[in-house]
Amino acid sequence: MATVVLGIAAAGVLLPFASGAGVRAEGTRRTLGAKLASDLIEQIINTPFEQILKYDGYSEPQGQLKDSAGIVFTDPSYANFSRGASCAYVYVPQQGGTYQANFVRITVRVYYRARPIASINRLVAK
């Protein structure tokens, strides 16, 4: 009987620690996801304006993330992440009533096990 009571009490004490570890792991994944999104945004905006649209539809499958040199990350921390980018011209009316594409909207999304975890939008001027 004492073993049962002790087991129930131990479960009540240890349960908050287990859920806390889950919250901590989720925070770590979100932080790493935001860093991965930021890295890809920086890579794209350092591309000449006329070539930014080549990133439209860009994607890196799960476990195949690349750094700015094109080398795949080998750290197991990146194994379950994937990311993608989309780019589109933004047309703004100019004086004289004509529309010109002087801006590109870049969206980078990062996924953890196919679940969205981070997203960044950026507007780049010509």
Measured distance CA(35)–CA(68) in Å, rounded: 13
pTM of the model: 0.78
Strand order in the sheet with 81-93: 58-60, 81-93, 99-112, 115-125
Rounded distance between C-alpha atoms, residue 99 and residue 95, angstroms: 9
Q: Would you state the pLDDT for residue 12? A: 67
| Distinct helix (H) and strand (E) counts, the chain | 1, 4
The predicted structure's pLDDT at residue 16: 65
CA–CA dist 62, 64 (Å, integer): 6
Q: Which residues contact 54 (CB under 8 A, 6 or more apart)?
A: 47
Mean pLDDT of 50-62: 94
pLDDT band at 3, cuts 50/70/90?
confident
Region 42-65 average pLDDT: 94
Alpha helices (H) in the chain, listed in sequence order = 2-45
Q: pLDDT (tens digit, 9 = 90+) per residue, 21-44?
A: 777 888 999 999 999 999 999 999
- Can you give the pLDDT at residue 34? 95
- pLDDT at residue 15, rounded to an integer: 65
- Ordered by start, the domain boundaries in the chain are 2-125
